[in-house]
Amino acid sequence: MVTLSQFDVLALKRDFPILSQEVKGKPLAFLDSAASSQKPRQVIECLEDYYRRYNANVHRGVYKLSEEATFAYERARGKVARLLNARSPREIVFTRNTTEAINLVAYAWGGANLKPGDRILLTVMEHHSNIVPWQMLAQRSGAALDYLPVDSDGRLALEALDSLLSERTKIVAVTQQSNVLGTINPVAEIVRRAHAVGALVLVDAAQSVPHMPVDVQALDCDFLAFSGHKMCGPTGIGALWGRRELLEAMPPFLGGGSMIKIVELEQSSYADVPARFEAGTPAIGEAIALGAAIDYLNEIGLDRIHEHELALTSYALGRLGDVAGLTIFGPRTIAERGAAVAFTLDGVHPHDIAGLLDGEGIALRAGHHCTQPLHRVLDVMATARASFYLYNTTEDIDRLVVALDKARKLFS
């Protein structure tokens, strides 16, 4: 193993119980963190501690367990706010995941603000969860969709922004990091240009918040969504950050308990934000354990995690470049990309690559990765994708390269 970064990856890897197992008789090399990351014992223990010691519903009881659960749940909201440099924890709405956070904005903000003739600007590299909710909104509201293209290196074609942005553009929804190309997009610049025509910007941060410091005030965006399960946290919990004045002006998304002030037979008044957007019993233990995941990442340092991943990605691009017949998608300039590397191998279907690699104890994903429009532009039906996180090593990449060579020989 080549040592790439200041932190001790092998020591850190021991925090993740799942990674010490063997798969098909080989040590597990987990290269699918872009889909969902593994969890350190600190997060698992936090979740277990909640269920063992103080499980109770929040914001309702006056008894000790409920007070303790409410305190921990709200403290987790504060941790999310600090992670994103939000002005206030009131700007954080807990959701199930990125998908739900984007749907919340498309439904609640979009329903109240879009009319026929308005335009929604997306990019062709978006994940389906940052496309389909906007298509549904367009169908309901009569607004139209525009798409910023990608160039041949897998970067957003920013020169097309001037012609696509107009005063009719009401919102731009863009990913901060592509889950396929790895491209890190210049979100602050896009925000500046969108704001100049009066459009809001939603940032899909599913692939950025887990991997690098993200500051909503520095980005100057209007909404930002991410998922806990991709950043060492549990499934079932994510968050939407929104500017307070925007959230306050938005009608509810889901109706029910916890989101109301007064309920009468014919109508109701709604709670202040963020409670207005958290109908029903939330994922309490999961939110608290997301807080533990944030503590864990902060202790290591998101800037150091990002550095480690850049070094790994650079190493992977170099090593994979030596595999005959392998095509890598996405930018080659390391500063412009994060730790996801999608590729095809001549003569071997991506699903066969994933199957063969599984036999070697290597877990990676094959398919369209919920980006069918992007794959259409790349002119491939599917790609294989290796994605890295803080616990990956150069040895994982070396094993990937050896296994790919074996696959190529087997199929040729």
| Pairing between β-strand 340-345 and β-strand 92-95 as defined by DSSP bridges | unpaired
Give me the 227-256 binding string for ligand 7TS, x by CB under 6 A, dash otherwise. x-----------------------------
Nearer to ligand 7TS, 270 or 329 (CB): 329
Q: Which of 29, 72, 120, 206 binds ligand 7TS (CB under 6 A)?
A: 206
First-last CA distance in the chain: 30
8 Å CB contact between 290 and 37: no
- Of 124, 191, 134, 189, the closest CA to residue 155 belongs to 124
Give one DSSP letter per residue of 86-98, joined into a string. -S-GGGEEEESSH
Q: Which of 12, 35, 197, 377 binds ligand 7TS (CB under 6 A)?
A: 35
Q: 10 Å Cβ neighbour count for 269? A: 9
Q: Contact between 175 and ligand 7TS (CB under 6 A)?
A: yes
Is cis: bond before 274, omega within 30 of 0? Answer: yes
Minimum distance, C-beta of residue 129 to ligand 7TS, in the bound complex (Å): 4
Q: Contact between 99 and ligand 7TS (CB under 6 A)?
A: yes
Q: Contact between 97 and ligand 7TS (CB under 6 A)?
A: yes
Applying CB under 6 A, the span of 78-86, 124-132, 162-170, 353-361 interacting with ligand 7TS comes to: 124-132
Nearer to ligand 7TS, 16 or 226 (CB): 226
- Of 315, 318, 335, 336, the closest CA to residue 326 belongs to 318
Total of chain residues touching ligand 7TS, rule CB under 6 A? 17
Residue type for 176, please? Q
Give 254: exposed, middle or buried? Use CB within 10 Å, 0-12, 13-18, 19+.
middle
Catalytic residue among 46, 221, 232, 370: 370
- Of 213, 234, 209, the closest CA to residue 287 belongs to 234
Minimum distance, C-beta of residue 32 to ligand 7TS, in the bound complex (Å): 8
The residues in 272-311 that bind ligand 7TS, with binding defined as CB under 6 A, are none
Minimum distance, C-beta of residue 246 to ligand 7TS, in the bound complex (Å): 21
Residue 107 DSSP one-character state: I
Nearer to ligand 7TS, 70 or 123 (CB): 123
Residue 337 DSSP one-character state: B
Minimum distance, C-beta of residue 319 to ligand 7TS, in the bound complex (Å): 22
| CA-based torsion, 365, 366, 368, 374: positive or negative | positive
Query: Among this protein's residues, is 46 annotated catalytic?
Result: no
* H helix count then E strand count, the chain: 15, 17
Q: Contact between 129 and ligand 7TS (CB under 6 A)?
A: yes
| Pairing between β-strand 200-204 and β-strand 169-175 as defined by DSSP bridges | parallel
Q: Contact between 179 and ligand 7TS (CB under 6 A)?
A: yes
Q: Which of 39, 77, 170, 369 binds ligand 7TS (CB under 6 A)?
A: 369
Minimum distance, C-beta of residue 385 to ligand 7TS, in the bound complex (Å): 7
Q: Which residues bind ligand 7TS (CB under 6 A)?
A: 34-35, 97-99, 127, 129-130, 175, 179, 204, 206-207, 227, 365, 369-370
Residues with catalytic roles = 370
